[in-house]
Structure 1
Amino acid sequence: MCGRYTLLADEVEILEEFGIEQSIDDYQLSYNIAPGQNVLAIIHDGKAKRAGYLRWGLVPSWANDEKIGYKMINARSETAHEKPSFKRLMSRKRCLIVADSFYEWRRDGNEKQPKRIRLENRGLFAFAGLWDKWEQDGKKLFTCTILTKEANGFMQDIHHRMPIILPKDKQDAWLEAGEQSPEEAHHFLRSLEIENLRAYDVASYVNSAKNNDEDCIAPLAQN
């Protein structure tokens, strides 16, 4: 799964990396992005890519209660093309969720050791995401979820699931493919190669979403 991540790049770097022409309203970096927060995402509006904020935790347009979003921070890519919550979104509401690392907790007996995980050969990247608009009683929400897959060899020692990180040359294809069938989007995700990752231990300080500073990413001192 993916339940926490970071975005520490400055705005100019993000705009250049993803080819965004307009500035990002109220951009703020974060050492500890958590579910329920607004997260930086990129969509394609049919004419151009746009960057803005979506709330992390998908609330489908047909949902009766927005609280469902807390249960839908991730979507399993293996079945997203079949599930009512995600099938329509796989077809035409795909997004990039911008990040530069993510956290995962490795279980060791009764203990869980948090780790920060990054790409080996580049900094900024994008998770494959889905988004939707929910509206009820005059309230509007724009929300998203991160697609996940079975862990690769590197991640298996840490967790059995991992987020889908789009290769740089596949980011636009995920966004700009237009309306395609859910099955086509599913096959696209299955075809992606996984880039090399690296990880290091961080302190349990990161466990609390209230903590959001450099101590979250500081390597844990080894005895």
Structure 2
Amino acid sequence: MQSRDDYIEFLLEEAESEIPYDPEPIGRYNVSPGTKVLLLNNREGTLHLDPVIWSYAPSWWDKAPLINARVETASTSRMFKPLWNHGRAIVFADGWYEWVRAGDKKQPYYIYRKDRKPLFFAAIGKQPFDVGDEAAGFLIVTAAADKGLIDIHDRRPLVFTSRAALEWMNPETTGAQASELVHDAAVSADEFTWHPVSLAVGNVKNQSPELIKKTDKASL
């Protein structure tokens, strides 16, 4: 698990930042919705890193909070269009988990880049992110899975290259330009690989680095 400085190093060659130096590894191997996640965002041309709730529910929403937004509709829907235009952010990670059903059982897999580079997930949320509003947090933008990833799950987080991540967060990038980034600068499914991991990831209290290690499915 990398430190937040390791992730940010891929982005900040020329960008202005108000993010304090912190070389300690983040140490979260099992991040769950409804918890606070470090959200990278650009406010007035300067990058900030704020702990924000991973879920979103506007005041008029009378259902359970949402955690994902489909890229196919996020830029045009009543709920998500304002966030798409003015609340774009990035969540960084090393990988993510998906569960695959096999008969009456489910097997978790860990998905990550073949070159082990950091992942920059596209996110949208309610600005400003530094006010600590528990009711209005952020969502991960998802896209349809393709190629080999479809065998794991039909959806996947939208992952950007480091350069595209900066453009995505830039307040001067319009909603239309953000939509172009989705099609032109997302990391291809060819760049990912995956392996089975322990069923222990099903308990969010478990945070050991053992969670992302490859395991023998037959031994579960």
Which of 165, 168, 187 is the matching residue for 2:162? 168
Say if 1:125 and 1:175 are closer, same or farther in 2 by CA, change over 3 A.
Answer: same
Residue from 128, 138, 142 that aligns with 1:144: 138
Correspondences of 1:9-28 after superposition (within 5 Å): 9-19=2-12, 20-23=17-20, 28=26
* Structure 1 gap ranges (5+): 1-7
Alignment RMSD (CA, Å): 2.5
Asked whether the equivalents of residues 127 and 163 of structure 1 are also in contact (C-alpha less than 8 Å), the reply is yes
User: Aligned-pair distance for 1:64?
Assistant: 5.7
Of 96-105 and 118-127, more deviation after overlay is shown by 118-127
Which secondary structure state, in structure 2, belongs to the residue aligned with residue 18 of structure 1?
coil
Partner of residue 215, structure 2: 220
Q: What percentage of aligned pairs have identical amino acids? A: 26
From 195, 198, 201, the equivalent of 1:200 is 195
CA distance in 1 between counterparts of 2:217 and 2:102 reads: 16
- SS for the counterpart of 1:54 is strand
Q: Helix, strand or coil: the match of 2:140? A: strand
1:185 corresponding residue in structure 2 = 178
CA deviation map 1:147-203 (0-9, x unaligned): 00110102111111111001122111101152623x443333122343310101001
* Conserved 8 A contact 1:15-1:21: no
In the alignment, the residues of structure 1 paired with residue 115 and residue 171 of structure 2 have an alpha-carbon distance, to the nearest angstrom, of 26
Deviation at 1:133, TM superposition (A): 4.9
How many residues are paired up?
208
Deviation at 1:106, TM superposition (A): 1.5
2:120 matched to which residue of 1?
126
107 and 24 in structure 1: CA distance in 2 versus 1, 3 angstrom threshold: farther
Query: Letter of the aligned partner of 2:123 in structure 1?
Result: G
The structure richer in strand per residue is 1
d(CA) in 2 for partners of 1:162 and 1:127? 10
Q: Distance in 2 between matches of 1:162 and 1:97?
A: 14
**What SS is found at the alignment partner of 2:126?**
strand
Cα distance in structure 1, aligned partners of 2:108 and 2:205: 16
**TM-score normalised per structure 2:** 0.84
Q: Of 90, 97, 107, which aligns to 2:101?
A: 107
Q: Which of 212-221 and 85-94 deviates more?
A: 212-221
**C-alpha distance in 1 between matches for 2:152 and 2:122:** 21
State the one-letter code of the partner of 1:46. E
8 A contact 2:87–2:127 mirrored in 1:
no
Q: CA deviation at 1:12?
A: 2.8
Letter in 2 for 1:12: D
Moved more, 103-112 or 8-17: 8-17
Deviation of 1:108 (Å): 1.5
Alignment of 1:23-62 (within 5 A): 23=20, 28-60=26-58, 62=59
Task: Look up the SS of the partner of 1:172 in the other structure.
Answer: helix
Report the AA paired with residue 133 of structure 2.
Answer: K
> Partners of 2:45 and 2:75 in 1: how far apart?
25
**TM-score, normalization by structure 1:** 0.83
Distance 1:37 1:90, change over 3 A: same
Amino acid across the alignment from 1:33: V
Aligned-partner residue type, residue 15 of structure 1? I
